[in-house]
Structure 1
Amino acid sequence: MTRVLVVDDEPQLVRALEINLKARHHEVDSAPDGTRALLAAAARRPDVVLLDLGLPDMDGIEVIRRLRGWSRVPILVVSARHSSDEKVEALDAGADDYITKPFSMDELLARLRACSRRTWAAKGTASEEVVVETEEFTIDLLAKKAERRGQEIRLTPTEWHLLEVLIRNRGRLVTQRGLLQEVWGAGYSSQTNYLRVYMAQLRRKLEPDPSHPRYLVTTPGMGYRFDT
């Protein structure tokens, strides 16, 4: 049974989420502000956090940052803020997904399920799976070896670093800023042309159809994702 922590200061919305989640056999805890959310997360260890950003005592971005200091629990932001910059800020802080209010309950539940699946996949990749196999290519992260249809593919150190970050976050959107800071450093957070060049190179080497990528997927204006 999945334990969900709902963090929102709108009692009616919290009640609606509790009813719908419990009807689908989830355990539900709730918190009306960031302070109590952090205490509940530490005490109850939720499997997923549904987090509003407009909290009365602290911004939801700060809650994400504090949670990420000690937990990898999936965080699905549920917020009325809808600009791309605000979404990117939340994702850069460590959120796994973002849905804007108002939303359909079916979409929220689908995203919640996706967050849970991606987290289990990421745990497996991070802890034990160092070899990633697809229909098109095989990546051995430990040996730094890539093969496509039995032929070894040579990747540069930068290509390896970029690919490894995406694989370690399999199924999750990694923002452009996050990738640039991780691979090139903090001073390169606006150099999106670097990503375009290196992603194009990786796609040419690994994708069956680089113009229609299946594995190295772009979310326009936001970032990239590794799918299998």
Structure 2
Amino acid sequence: MSASPAGKLTLVGVGPGDPELLTVAAVRAIEAAAAVAYPVARLEAEGMAARIASPWIRSEQRRLPLLFPMVAEAEPRQQAWHAAAEALVAELSQGQAVVLLCEGDSSLYASCSYVLLALAERVPAAALRVIPGITAVSAAAAAASSQGIPWPLALQQEPLWIRPTPETPLELAALLEQAAVAGAVLALLKLGHRWSWVQPLLAERGLLDHTLFAQRVGWPDQQLASAVLVSAAEQPYFSLLLIRQGWPAVLP
């Protein structure tokens, strides 16, 4: 365990894609930082979080790309998280104000959360702040409503379940049944290639008309549509579904 460093680290959720969706707190934290850290899948890559926040990053600020490999194996990912934590501790030991950019929200399925846990092992008393960001789920619902597809995420006593898309049709079928019983709105993230079998499963259950498909929310090439209009072809990783299997009894 290291001594508490003199610097301060701020984890900043930068939202799903649109730079204008950063909060005032996020922009102020970025502006105040001497160094801006961000995850990359390859060291030569720009990184999506850095690209989102780029309008707010000044040329004189040091950039610190942190390698988070997109692999299924646990060991390379764990090594990367600990290496990122060590790099941040080194920055903080120099008394620097550092921000770590996180795509979406800084606590929801965020790679940066693993760095947060690794840092807690090393320097539990470090000066730390976490700034939340707008999730792709919230942004997708808002964008759909703005485009004439009214899509309140949850009303009255409705639960909202946010899940990664299950790996098999059997798992998804069970989740849909559970959500129907609970009256829950279901948000499925990381859809990607699974859409090729998710689409016919939803069609079989008559749910395509009640499902919103969203792709690359917040980016210039954002796509939003009723799932009934989307072919069963494989979709990019950053796609999601909002599935509503019913409505509350009391509505306007």
Query: TM-score normalized by structure 2?
Result: 0.23
More helix by share: 1
The structure that has the greater radius of gyration is 2
